[in-house]
Amino acid sequence: MGSPAEARQSPDNVQAALASLERSIECGTPNRWIEELAQTADDLEFSVPQLRSIATNLAWISRRLGQPTPTVRGYCTDPGTLGRVHLYVCGQRFRFDFNFTDLSSFLAEHGGSPYAGDALVQSFSAFAKLGARQPGAVAQLDHVLKLPDLDNRARHVCLAGIWSAHTLPEQATLLLSLADDMIGLSGADGTVFFRRAAAYRMMGRFSEALDDIDYAFSILPSGNNEVHQDYLRERQLIGLAIQMQGTAEL
């Protein structure tokens, strides 16, 4: 017989809760869905990895619908689940927009939060530092990747940060290393192969780059048109790099 938490987290209960939260987002009532998510997480006893994943997915939906980043003062200092949820949602919204400056400011403003040391929150700091070319970016990345509560969501944020760090001399090496780790841990979706394809392209390993980006296309669920365009641009960059190399050899 399962635990009470497992009983509350039956597939029907979770699906009903997520459907309700998506309806709240679509209604456009500012911040209501964040409060509802925190309450749902408490009611259904979501684990931290579950909460990170659900908050990330709902933040993406909110962004897709054109809603602003819900930076409500006071939420992040809440010592309960609402404080954690708000940090997750705002961090992911700034991350999705590659808004390094505002993400850095947001994290600095909420550095006193009881959840400031959370691995996902710390990964937002690494992302912002890497993208904004700040000192200590690689040290922050190393710190995050050693945290005991590191999970796949936090690794994805770090991976995106490295991918954005175009002036970092070791960008390709770091990108390849983390992508390889995620694939080895069976935590890889198409985006991990997309990022690794970029690393291979930077290294001039074009055959491997094409293999990875084509595999990313093959496992991408239908309907993800924005992601498909990102993959297509990477494949075009690989093709251009191959052509440039050929031209240089003439």
Task: Give the pLDDT confidence score for residue 210 in this predicted structure.
Answer: 98
Confidence of residue 76 (pLDDT cuts 50, 70, 90): confident
What does the alpha-carbon distance between residue 217 and residue 232 come to, in Å, rounded to a whole number?
Answer: 9
Q: Which of 2-6, 16-20, 67-71, 141-145 has the lowest mean pLDDT?
A: 2-6
Token digits of residue 200: 């291979």
Only one residue has tokens 């055959």, namely 207
Instruction: Please report, for residues 9, 44, 127, 149, the alpha-carbon distance to residue 160 in angstroms, rounded to integers and kept in the order given.
Output: 31, 30, 7, 19
Only one residue has tokens 């459907």, namely 19
Helix residue spans in the chain (DSSP H) = 4-8, 11-27, 32-44, 48-64, 81-96, 100-109, 119-131, 137-145, 152-164, 171-184, 190-202, 206-219, 225-248
| DSSP H or E run through 3 | none
Length of the chain: 250
Task: Give the pLDDT confidence score for residue 68 in this predicted structure.
Answer: 87
What does the alpha-carbon distance between residue 160 and residue 79 come to, in Å, rounded to a whole number?
Answer: 29
The mean per-residue pLDDT over the stretch 141-169 comes to 97
How far is CA 19 from its chain centroid?
A: 22
DSSP state, 71? -
What does the alpha-carbon distance between residue 238 and residue 61 come to, in Å, rounded to a whole number?
Answer: 30
Q: State the pTM of this model.
A: 0.91
pLDDT above 60: residue 1:
no
